[in-house]
Amino acid sequence: MKKNSTPRIAILAIAACAIWAPPAATAGGAAWRCGNTYSDQPCPDGKPLALGDIRDAGQKREADNSTREAQAAGDRLERERLRQEKAQAGRHATLIDSRPSAPKADADGAKKKKKGKKEPDYFSAHDPVATAKKKAEKAEKAGRRSAEKS
């Protein structure tokens, strides 16, 4: 019968963590200033920095209390927001008049379309003054032709 190897693997993993944990804990507490940069590794001409908490017990207690109060206020505001959202969810828009509105008369509908004349699919801009001049010239020519024929 094969024995369960899970406890052996767990013991080996714990032993490995115990061996590597002390150097990792001591290395994490030191920092050096190397010129304009900061590093967790010592460097040539680097200066070690003191990273200890220099606050006294009263200052630390005051900061912790302030943090707790801010957290409580945030939780209270969240509960209030959720309560308001829940109350708002029950309210829906009210339909006052369900009849459809009367169709509006189109301004274009008032104009009658000319029979047989189709609107072009394209748009071309023209100068109304120039068009009037051309029509006058055309009428003049037509008048001359009819006078010449008679």
- 37-82 pLDDT, tens digit each: 998 888 888 888 888 888 899 999 999 999 999 999 999 999 999 9
- The residue-averaged pLDDT of 133-139 equals 89
Q: What are phi and psi of 37, to 5 degrees?
A: -120, 165
Residue 67, pLDDT score: 97
Cα-trace Rg, the chain: 45
Residue 108, pLDDT score: 56
Please check the confidence at residue 20 and state whether its pLDDT lies above 50.
yes
Nearest to 54 by CA among 63, 65, 42: 63
Compute the distance between CA of residue 105 and CA of residue 103 in angstroms, rounded to an integer: 7
Compute the distance between CA of residue 73 and CA of residue 122 in angstroms, rounded to an integer: 66
Matching residue, tokens 């001359």: 144
Residue 63, pLDDT score: 95
Q: Where residue 15 falls among pLDDT bands split at 50, 70, 90?
A: confident
Residue 130, pLDDT score: 81
Residue 1, pLDDT score: 44
Distances (CA, A) of 138 to 118, 124, 129, 132, 134: 24, 21, 14, 10, 6
Find out whether 49 and 31 touch, Cβ atoms under 8 Å.
Answer: yes
Between residues 20 and 136, the one the model is more confident about: 136
Q: How far is CA 63 from the centre of its chain?
A: 35
Pick the range with the lowest mean pLDDT from 13-22, 75-84, 110-119. 110-119
What is the residue-averaged pLDDT of the chain?
Answer: 80
Residue 64, pLDDT score: 96
Between residues 113 and 31, the one the model is more confident about: 31
Between residues 100 and 46, the one the model is more confident about: 46
Strands across the sheet containing 37-39: 37-39, 31-34, 47-49
Surface-to-core class of residue 46, CB atoms within 10 Å of its CB (0-12 exposed, 13-18 middle, 19+ buried) = middle
- The residue-averaged pLDDT of 101-114 equals 63
